[in-house]
Structure 1
Amino acid sequence: MAQHFLLSAAARTLSLKAIYKAGEEAAHDTFCKMRWPETDGEAVCPDCGCCETYKITTRRKFKCKGCYRQFSVTSGTIFASRKMAFVDLLAAICITVNASKGVSMVQLSRDLDCQYKTAFVLAHKLREAMAREVHTGEVLRGHVEVDGAYFGGHIRPENAKADRKDRRLKEHQTGKRRVVVVMRERLGRTLPVVTMAESEGVALVHSNVDRMATLSADEASHWDLLHAGWSVDRVNHSEIYSDHGKHTNWAESYFSRLRRMVAGQHHHVSPRYLHQYATQAAWLEDNRRKSNGVMAFGLVANAMDAPVSRAWKGYWQRVA
């Protein structure tokens, strides 16, 4: 029997040992090459686009000969105003892509020897960079599976049986429960969206799936509306999970990873940030057949192409 790709040496092309052995200068050069691939890492002014720059080596900065602006490799990117060393940033990215079900922020802060707050914001910036690859705006094509799953909003029952309430009733719920609706191409992209109800997935399919595509869905009644625009395979999960090629196993595979990420690693995810964890799970699913080196450098490239984060820059300094 052939060895699984993830167990082979080809899947391991980057390690923490190699990152720290190469040192800070090599990590900085990696970020430069990902930021300016057209010039093989030679700095280009982010303001005027001038290629005539020179290095200020004592501070790892550059100065433009055209507009005289000083800038660094992370200026204007999602890592703007960063204080962490480049070797630690690259190590954090390596840890993130190596963790197939995600990594807790306590563990990441211990691995990097930084504050919990630093690890928390850094991880969310990386998820924001992943979103540039997941949420491209392109419609899904081919055969697309659509499904929904509920996350959060757990209500702990009272200790005494006489005090317990019917947690199915709306008045006894917390309002924090959310639905992740996923649309996934077979052998293709994964697109998750967080909604209040699974029935909202019908409108999402209309916006994000090509009219020439075919669909697979379960027997939930709201998916009946999809038959008006697409050829839809339906499978009744109360009776069978796969019926001669009719299944939503690709969507269920995504939910399996996301559930283990939320329950097994993070234990609790706020509904405010659930969309970022859903995006991370989708990115990991779509890149699962790539080596960890390809995944890490791809994530660096996404981060270097992403603008300054309006949600996470100065997150802990804001006044509530």
Structure 2
Amino acid sequence: MAQHFLLSAKARTLSLAKVFRMGEDAAYGLFCEMRWPETDGEAVCPRCGCTDSYFLKSRRKYKCVACYHQFSVTSGTIFASRKLSFTDLLAAIVIFVNGAKGISALQASRDLDVQYKTAFVLFHKLREAMAQEFADVKLNGTVEIDGAYFGGYVKPENKKADRKDRRLSFNRSGKRQCVVIMRERRGCSLPFIVANEGDAVPFVRDHVGTLATIHADEGTGWDALYAGWDTRRVNHSVQFMDRGVCTNQAESYFSRLRRMEIGTHHHIAGRYLNAYAGEAAWREDHRRVDNGSQAMTLTGAAMEAKVSRLWKGYWQR
């Protein structure tokens, strides 16, 4: 029997011990390389684009020769106004990517010896950077599509006679939302949050090529797909696969997201469900990538992302 990738040595190329041994200067140099890869880590002014600058060593800042603008390696990124050291920042990214089914902010706050608020906001900034990979994505080939409901827990009554069927829509709390995943086989995953499964059809029109083949289950919400795509269905009450038609890749995504909700975070607030759904999609797409490459990919995405308008000053409202 073949060994699972996560159990192999190939999956482990970066450890926390290695991060802390590299020191603050090496960690700072790594962030510079991620911020300015075109110049091999040499500073580029974000205001005028000049490549000549003075380095203010006492504050780790640069001063542009042309426009005299002062900036740092994290200026204009989601790490702007950071207080953590670069070593701790890199360690937080490694801790984040090492969780195959996510990692709670409470656990990270203990590992890094920071406030829960700090870990919570930092991880959401990383999820925002992850979401950049899904921008303007167009799926082609064989695309699996499915939906599952998350959130909106209704506590059962004490007495059995008073309990209601919580699967029925009129017995729910009204907070339950549907996560719809469109997953290209051997390609990208694209999640969306809608009220009901069938509401995702307009998103399919925008993000799935007309020559694609769509695999879906027998949910009535997917009947409209026949109008624009080669759509093939499988009846899950009878079988999981019918002559090659299945939604197994979509179910794999839901398995990861469900374990994130139940086993790691225990509760996901409705307005943050889209962020966690995007994180699960990113982890699925990079599940066969070693943790060192995952950390560098996420660091590069974070250094390319602009200042977060949602999470900057979150606790100060």
Correspondence list, 1:6-85, <5 A: 6-85=6-85
Give, as a single letter, the amino acid of the residue that structure 2 aligns with 1:200.
D
- The residue aligned with 2:286 is 287
- In the aligned structure 2, how far is the partner of 1:201 from the partner of 1:292? 33
For the residue of structure 2 that corresponds to 1:29, the secondary structure is helix
CA offset at residue 227 of structure 1?
1.0
Between 53-62 and 185-194, report the one with greater CA deviation.
53-62
Q: Structure 1: how far apart are the matches of 2:217 and 2:55?
A: 59
TM-superposition CA deviations, 1:67-115 (whole Å, max 9, x none): 1111110000011111111111100110111101000111010011000
Distance 1:243 1:171, change over 3 A: closer
SS at match of 1:23: helix
The code of the aligned residue for 2:20 comes to: Y
CA RMSD across the alignment: 1.3
Show CA shifts across 1:163-187 (max 9, x none): 4455456554321100000000001
Task: Please list every run of 5 or more consecutive structure 2 residues that lacks an aligned counterpart in the other structure.
Answer: none
1:191 aligns with 2:190: yes
The CA distance in 2 between the partners of 1:172 and 1:205, in whole Å, is: 29
| Paired residue type of 1:221 | T
* C-alpha distance in 2 between matches for 1:256 and 1:170: 22
SS at match of 1:281: helix
The whole-number CA distance in structure 1 between the counterparts of 2:243 and 2:172 is 39
Q: Which residue is 1:214 aligned to?
A: 213
Partner of 1:205: 204
Task: Please give the per-residue CA displacement for 1:213-233, whole angstroms capped at 9, x wherever unaligned.
Answer: 001000011211111111111
Q: Please tell me whether residue 317 in structure 1 is matched to residue 316 in structure 2.
A: yes
Question: C-alpha displacement at 1:7, in angstroms?
Answer: 2.2
Q: May I ask how many residue pairs the two structures share in their alignment?
A: 317
- Which position in structure 1 is the counterpart of 2:141? 142
Displacement of 1:55 in angstroms is 1.1
How far apart are the structure 1 equivalents of 2:167 and 2:187?
A: 36
> What corresponds to 1:117 in structure 2?
117
Distance in 1 between residues matched to 2:144 and 2:160, nearest whole Å? 41
Q: Is 1:4 aligned with 2:12?
A: no
What is the rounded CA distance, in whole Å, between the counterparts of 1:168 and 1:294 in structure 2? 41
* Map 1:123-138 → 2, pairs under 5 A: 123-133=123-133, 135-138=134-137
Deviation at 1:160, TM superposition (A): 3.0
Using the alignment, how far apart are the partners of 2:295 and 2:139 within structure 1? 25
1: CA distance, partners of 2:244 / 2:170: 41
Q: What amino acid sits opposite 1:226 in the alignment?
A: L
1:203 maps to amino acid: P
Q: Unmatched 5+ residue regions in structure 1?
A: none
Normalised TM-score (structure 1): 0.96
- The Cα offsets for residues 23-48 of structure 1, whole Å up to 9 and x where unpaired, read as 11111111100000000000111111
Shift of 1:244: 2.1
Partner SS state of residue 233, structure 2:
strand
Residue 261 (structure 1) aligned with residue 260 (structure 2): yes
Describe the superposition over 1:109-147 as per-residue Cα deviations: whole angstroms up to 9, x where unpaired. Answer: 0011000000000000000000001x2212101100000
Deviation (angstroms), 1:66: 1.0
Query: 1:185 and 1:168 mapped to 2: Cα distance?
Result: 29
Deviations 1:152-210 (A, max 9, x none): 11100221345445545655432110000000000100000011111112121111100
Q: Which moved more, 1:41-50 or 1:199-208?
A: 199-208
Q: In 2, distance between residues paired with 1:241 and 1:170?
A: 25
In the TM superposition, what is the alpha-carbon distance from 1:57 to its structure 2 partner?
Answer: 1.2
